[in-house]
Structure 1
Amino acid sequence: MESTSTRTRTLSRTLGRVAEALCTPLVPADYLDIVAPMRPGARRAKVVAVRPETARATTLVLRPAFRWPGHRPGQYLRLGVDVDGVRLWRSYSLTGPQRPDGTLTVTVGALDGGAVSSHLQSVRVGALVEVDGPDGVFTLPDVAPAKTLFVTAGTGLTPVVGMLRTRLADLRDVVLVHSARTADDVMFAEELRDWAAQGRLRLVERHTATQGRLTAAALADLVPDVAERETWACGPNGLLDEIAAAAEAQGWTQRLHTERFRPVLVEPGTGGTVTYGRAGVTLEADGATTLLAAGEAGGVLLPSGCRMGICFQCVVPLTEGSVRDVRNGVVTTATAEDPALVQTCISAAAGPCALDV
């Protein structure tokens, strides 16, 4: 005989499916986002502190609503914010381990014309941001190398400071070469200089306003044994290209690990070319037809349970481009380096886009 608790759970699940069917295309989770945006399991975080690092860089302390799975030093998370009705995603390196109180830190550098960085520079305590991650392979090995070199420029310092804050005690013979416009533009300057004063690392600051741009040739002069060191480099593409070329010419490519800045150039529109990658199908869709309907009309078999009231079965990775939520007009943008999960039953093309399905 069925127990009372079993009947109660069955009734609860049935009522939930009925509720989802009745409010399609909205689902109960959409309403919960309004009344309980930080409910357990929601993929977002609250900004609990804002701390300026320099005139153009700000550290955000985030408290995730979900159980953080943990991350390796050097990895990043993706933050989604709504700017003028468009949801934009950008990647930011985690600048330390998860704190005992469960919070995380990222540091955002201002970019001229950067919609997300400008938004986050002025964000206030209590603001909510969407969160995805962690991800990234720009990390230290479990066994620390005998000799380590970090080469960074500008905000390229952020993943490296995450490594140092977590693993500096494990590292031996550490050199950090960092390039910034002036001494005042060096992020985490007091902390880095304290480590150097304590003899825990050798810090070389390159101030480009007076000393010129850091180059591979200058790096070889600053660190004569560069070819012997396991090297992690993060910064502008030009600098990393030079270092990679020098490493190849001198035979230490296998000891070089790089993380590159990736500008986002996607501009949302209305409708566009949709590529269903694994299916090998490309078609044109207007701005009113969902990606699910467009794909099915084009012969693409897409995962979904929408018509049976089973939600979130149609979630797939958007690998490039922009899509618009047909319910509220919010646009989600992604790049090949920073994909985003979207629901095909409520998303329409907002310009050229590609799905990993």
Structure 2
Amino acid sequence: MPLSSSGGSAVTGGWGRGTTARRRVLDATSWLTTPLLPDDFLGLVNPLWSLRGLRGRVEQVRPETASAASLVIRPGIGWTGHRAGQYVRVGVDIDGVRHWRPFSLSSSPHRPDGRLTITVKATPDGLVSPYLVRRVTPGTIVRLTPAEGDFVLPEPTPQRLLFLTAGSGVTPVAAMLHSLAAQDRMPDVVLVLSAPTSEEVIFGPGLRTLAAGWKSLRLYERHTRTSGRITMTQVRDLCPDWRERHTWACGPAGMLDDAQRHWRRAGVGDRLRVERFQTAQVSGGTGGRVRFAASGRTAHADGNTPLLAVGEHAGVLMPSGCRMGICHSCVVRLRSGRVRDLRTGREHGDEGELIQTCVTAAAGPVEIDV
């Protein structure tokens, strides 16, 4: 995930002071329920009380655009809050298989009811995002991890900010803006939004209302279906003092790559922070025959396809999680051969080595223990 920043503290939500007392009661009564633990019974009464893994209950699914929705989630015991701009990993069970994906938190950490919100855009070829947008209903229990990420505002907050977003990249930025508004301390902010049309701007009505209520927040929208993709020259024209502003950028890889080059060439690369939703992959590998030892199946793989996808296409039950190289749920043992890390291009391969199949491709004949 992105560059780091300092300062700030998480805001506790959902449980507060009752958590410590509840844990003490569970510890004191565990001997009464052996071989079952109190957590087993509490999980039956209310899944949010379980201590064996952080859970959340979806309380509302709120459409944002035709292809995006916000899920309002009540977090269970163990949730310690978040900072605006951070993300959370969400685990959902689809057809009996648990899948994990990271999503930016789109709600302010100062929300008084302790709920959290993720905003999801359904991708046409996705599995989890369409499920969350179109199939999840209120009452659904999801798995959660503690909030993570360094795409946050430092303390003290700089007095002049530039936010550059496109598509669903607006989600962490919206959390920052609502957090600043909740604290009644909106600095001088330029917000650039890019989306295909006005109707497809995620949080469009709310952000327009927010900008109308704060003179220090200037909002610029770019609708790419009629005006084309935004360029860094246009960003410079919209915000002439961009060099002096601390900038947060989130969106497609192409836009972020352009921004990093632009800021670096101007000698102010240290003022730009970026958040990437997908791990960039390096192409150009050799590929080879892959043998899945436990299942006895074989498949031919090119040098650019992750072993996870190769196995799934061959009908092998592959362990997986975030599919981005973050959660390490896809780790398997390499029996023989060499593989290539799609993030760095580095080849490696030792017998018995543990590899991440979601970000690793074959670099010649390979046998893995799955």
User: Which digits, 9 at most, give the CA deviation of each residue in 1:85-136, with x for residues without a partner?
Assistant: 3211111111123432221111111111110001001211111111112000
Distance 2:38 2:295 in 1: 25
Trace 1:55-70 onto structure 2 (pairs within 5 A): 55-70=66-81
Amino acid in the other structure paired with 2:227: Q
| 2:95 alignment partner in structure 1 | 84
Q: Report the equivalent of 1:262.
A: 278
Distance in structure 2 (CA, Å) of the matches to 1:335 and 1:237: 17
* 1:228-307 matches, cutoff 5 A: 228-262=244-278, 286=294
Q: Does 1:53 align with 2:69?
A: no
Distance, in Å, in 1 between the alignment partners of 2:113 and 2:229 is: 40
1:135 pairs with 2:148: yes
Structure 1 counterpart SS, 2:162: strand
- Listed one character per residue, the Cα deviations across residues 195-228 of structure 1 (whole Å, up to 9, x for unaligned) are 2222240000000011100121221122121111
CA distance in 2, matches of 1:117, 1:263: 17
Which residue of structure 2 lines up, in the alignment, with residue 197 of structure 1?
212
Query: Would the aligned equivalents of 1:178 and 1:204 in 2 still touch at CA under 8 Å?
Result: yes
Aligned-pair distance for 1:34? 6.0
Q: Which runs of 5+ in 2 are unaligned?
A: 1-26, 282-289, 297-306, 312-316, 333-353, 360-370
1:338 aligned residue: 326
Matched, 1:112 2:124: yes
Stretches of structure 1 lacking an aligned partner (at least 5 in a row): 1-8, 21-26, 266-271, 274-283, 289-319, 324-328
Kept in 2: contact 1:321–1:334 (CA 8 A): no
TM-score (norm 1): 0.70
- Are the counterparts in 2 of residues 90 and 338 from structure 1 also a CA contact under 8 Å? no
Matched, 1:145 2:151: no
Q: Is the 8 A contact 2:325 2:356 kept in 1?
A: no
- Contact 2:278–2:324 at 8 Å: present in 1 too? no
For 1:220, give the aligned amino acid.
R
Structure 1 residues 124 and 12, CA, compared in 2 at 3 Å: closer, same or farther?
closer
In structure 1, distance between residues paired with 2:49 and 2:166 = 38
Other structure's SS at 2:222 match = strand
Cα distance between partner residues in 1 of 2:358 and 2:210: 46
User: Does structure 1 conserve the Cα–Cα contact (< 8 Å) formed by 2:324 and 2:358?
Assistant: no
How many percent of aligned residue pairs carry the same amino acid? 42
Corresponding pairs, count: 283
Q: Which amino acid aligns with 1:339?
A: C
- Mapped to 2, the partners of 1:117 and 1:163 lie a distance apart of 23
Residue in structure 1 matching 2:226, options 189, 200, 210 = 210
Separation in 1 of the partners of 2:259 and 2:358? Answer: 34
Distance in 2 between residues matched to 1:11 and 1:104, nearest whole Å:
31
Q: Which amino acid is 2:68 matched to? A: A
The answer to whether 1:38 aligns with 2:53 is no
The verdict on how the C-alpha distance between 1:30 and 1:140 changes in structure 2, with shifts beyond 3 A counting, is: same
**Structure 1 residue 10: Cα displacement:** 9.1
**TM-score, structure 2 normalization:** 0.67
Where 1:135 maps in the other structure, the secondary structure is: coil
Distance 2:356 2:85 in 1: 33
Cα distance, 1:230 vs. partner?
Answer: 0.2
Q: Distance in 2 between matches of 1:117 and 1:264?
A: 20
Taking the aligned partners of 1:246 and 1:342, their CA distance within structure 2 comes to: 36
CA distance in 1, matches of 2:211, 2:115: 27
Identify if the C-alpha distance between structure 1 residues 11 and 178 changes in structure 2 by more than 3 Å, giving closer, same or farther: closer
Counterpart of 2:193?
Answer: 178
RMSD: 3.6
Matches of 1:48 and 1:129 in 2, distance apart?
Answer: 11
Residue identity in the other structure for 2:244: E
Letter in 1 for 2:272: L
Deviations 1:317-351 (A, max 9, x none): xxx9699xxxxx8954234553167999xxxx999
